[in-house]
Every structure is written in structure tokens, then in C-alpha cells.
Amino acid sequence: MSSSRTAGAGRFDVAVRAQAALGEGPTWDAATGRLIWVDIVGSRVHTFDPATGHRTVMTTEQHVGAAKPRTGGGLVVNLRDGIGLYDGTDSADGTGAGGFRWLHHEPVPGRRANDAAVAPDGALWAGTMYYDEKPGGGTLARVAPDGTVTSVLDDVTISNGTGWSPDGRLMYYVDTVTGRIDVFDVTADGAQVTGRREFAAVEAGAGSPDGLTVDADGCVWVALWGGAAVRRYAPSGALDRVVAVPTSLTTACAFGGPRLTDLYITTARVGLDAPHPLDGSVLVVPDAGQGVAQPAFAG
């Protein structure tokens, strides 16, 4: 990592110096002690081991919105044409992901995968959007471990950050064009959400909400696309911290490290005429807070 730099009330390091076009979806894989993240339009799944500095890159055949660990090893991936599985056999690229198969194949012309998250019950909640950001063209679906897909939202434009409260009773969600983080009540079986309402709104000019994570105190951290920052909102919805970074296109954030106290931030450089040298890199804020262990996909 590079030397520390100031970031609002704290500091940030450069975890992975890269030039990802659209870095997204940082996920801490506790089983391997590695960070998983993707470059969506670069069609690449990256891993990073902060203990050794070792990095791997796996190329996918389609644009990849998210990649999450599976309980038996390997990865579940949210691809342009559906949900795919890589098994846990070793591969030449060192990712530990081997043979591929579709779990759910549903190609829709003009549509691609975007952010996804694994719920406390081990199901994948996967979002989509149109390449041209067609209003209402995206979706949010729940993918059960057996591959059963249930539509949750079907009037989404840019399906983005999804996360659950520490007790699993609330789900937070971002459709970026709304400028809001919304919150739902989660049913007892974890399979459905109800009572959608506004949790917090990002004021005009501050950027657009993108990926998010929820910490052990129930605070919601959200990356601001075009806002050069990550914000933390208290469980009440009040803004209580801003982490400023020099990369304007911050895309998502997640806690990782051996104690789940380091906040990793993915960034992008797509569409920038004069990108900052760190645009497309992965940043990290050491000791930013206390994260919650993220479940692996149970399929």
C-alpha cells in the first residue's frame, strides 16, 4: 500500500493501484482473507490479499456486475445474461475459480448486470440496468441457492447498493437515479421485503448514491458517484461522517481485513476526460469502523 493520505476525519491508503474502467462491488471473503472486486465493463474479477499484496485477475466472457464467494468455494457472478457459477477448483490465474456453468440464464437485449449482494440467508439479490440507462428498465431479483429467481422490483433504472441491518430485519437499497437510499422491512423468512420508504436523500450537487455497506452499529455507508466521497448515515438517517477522496467516481464500499475494520472503496474512470491518477484504483480507510461478516452465497 502507499503512504496514508487524509480523508475527511480519517485517512486513506491505496490498496490496489489500478486503472479499472468501472471498478465495483468490493467484497471481503473471510474464508480466504481476500478482497474480491470487479471491473464491470472490463469483464474482470480481481482479488487482493492485503496480508501479502498478492493479486489475481480473471477475465469473464461477459460484462460482470458483481462477484461473490460461495460457501463451497468458487464464485457466483452477476453477468450480462444472468447468474453464473464458477466452481472452487484451482485455476491458472490463481483466483481459485474453475469451471463455469449458468445458474440462471436470461439474456435481454440492451440490458446488463449491475451490483449484487448476498443476504443473511445466503440468497443472492442481483440487480440489472440498461446500457442506455432506460428509465424503469432494470430489475432487482432474489436468486435462491437452488437457482429459483423471484422478482423483487421491476421498475428500476440503475439497481445499485443493497445491504441488510445487523439483525437482518431491514434492507437498504439504492436506485441511483432517485438520489436516495431507501429502506424496506424484511419478512421473517428473509425472502421478501415490504414497506419501502426513504432512509436518506443525497442533496443535489453532492453526487449520486451508488454501492453501500452496513456496519455493526447499523450505520449505512454509501459511495457517491461524482461526489468524490463516501458517506456514513446513522440508523436514524442522519448524516454523521464524510470520507473525502480525490477520485470523483467512487462506486462502492465494504469492510474487510482480519478484524473487519478497514473500509475498502472501489472507483472508476470511465467517461472522464482527465482522470485523476487514482481513478480506477481501490482505496482503503484503515480502522474506519466495525464491519459485519458478509455471508457467502449458499448455492
Least confident span in 3-7, 171-175, 182-186, 240-244: 3-7
Report the C-alpha gap between 47 and 42 in whole angstroms: 15
pLDDT band at 88 (very low <50, low <70, confident <90, very high): confident
pTM attached to this predicted model:
0.94
What pLDDT is recorded for position 95? 67
Range with lowest mean pLDDT among 6-20, 177-191, 285-299: 6-20
Rounded average pLDDT over 118-146: 97
Residue 242 — very low, low, confident or very high, per pLDDT cuts 50/70/90?
A: very high
Q: What is the pLDDT of residue 40?
A: 98
How crowded is the C-beta side of 183, counted as CA atoms within 13 Å? 20
Q: Structural domains in the chain? A: 5-285 (2.120.10.30)
